[in-house]
Amino acid sequence: MTVDAKWLNDEELAAWVRLAAVLELLPGVLDSQLRRDAELTHFDYYALAMLSEAPQRTLRMTSLAAQTNATLPRLSHVIRRLEERGLVERFPCPDDARATNVRLTPAGWDKVRRTAPGHVANVRQHVVDALTPEQVRQLAGITEAILRSLDPDGAMAAMYHRYGRVKGLAELGTAGAEVPVLEPVPA
């Protein structure tokens, strides 16, 4: 099957290649630090962090899967490993006997609290501090636009709108003449 493509111009190609490089390099940088300092993968830490932010540090497995963009089989495998380490526990959902809940244990909460400073320092070193404050605001707007393209119905919005929404993005159109700013999301 032949597809007619609108080829990327030089500027678009340069931006795409750089984004692809970030997408390839950043996960390894995040994973390496977490493996070295906490014996966790980035996904392990992300799952623990999502539980740490949940009421009673507990979520249904299906909710945790949605928040981490994981399949249930992948998440079940990861949760089993974390459970073997005493960081989480699974138990039947009291509201729905067909569902399973997962809860962060005290040891898991301690692991998150001890791991977070190094993870934040790594994110700051490799992402935030590489940018000016204006570029951080631009990055928020750029990623919001890409996320709307990747997730047009907002099915994954809970995953990426936890800490703020980009204000003013709808008014920007495709030209992006102004820099959007983050606005806190009401709890």
Contacts with 173 (C-beta within 8 Å, 6 or more apart), sequence order: none
Contacts with 147 (C-beta within 8 Å, 6 or more apart), sequence order: 156, 160
Distance CA 104, CA 86 (A): 9
Q: Are residues 84 and 115 in the same domain?
A: yes
Q: What is the residue whose two structure tokens read 């740490």?
A: 52
What mean pLDDT is reported for the chain?
87
Q: Are residues 152 and 180 in the same domain?
A: yes
Q: Are residues 106 and 156 in the same domain?
A: no
Residue type, 181: V
Q: Which of 95, 119, 143 is the last residue of a domain?
A: 119
The pairing of strands 96-104 and 88-93 is antiparallel
Q: Is residue 21 part of a domain?
A: no
We report the CATH number of the domain holding residue 97 as: 1.10.10.10
Q: Are residues 135 and 76 in the same domain?
A: no
Q: Are residues 108 and 44 in the same domain?
A: yes
User: Does position 152 have pLDDT exceeding 80, yes or no?
Assistant: yes
Q: Is residue 145 part of a domain?
A: yes
Residue 174: per-residue pLDDT: 33
Q: Is residue 8 part of a domain?
A: no
Q: Are residues 93 and 56 in the same domain?
A: yes
Q: Which of 98, 119, 140 is the last residue of a domain?
A: 119
Residue 97: per-residue pLDDT: 87
How many domains does the structure of the chain reveal?
A: 2
Report which of residues 78 and 3 the model is more confident about. Answer: 78
Q: Is residue 83 part of a domain?
A: yes
Q: Are residues 100 and 41 in the same domain?
A: yes
pLDDT digits (tens, 9 = 90+) for 52-67: 999 999 999 999 998 8
Q: How far is CA 35 from the centre of its chain?
A: 18
* Of residues 61, 54, 106, the one with CA closest to residue 80: 61
**Could you list the residue range(s) of the whole structural domain that residue 67 is in?**
28-119
Which segment of 31-40, 64-73, 105-114, 169-178 scores lowest on mean pLDDT?
169-178
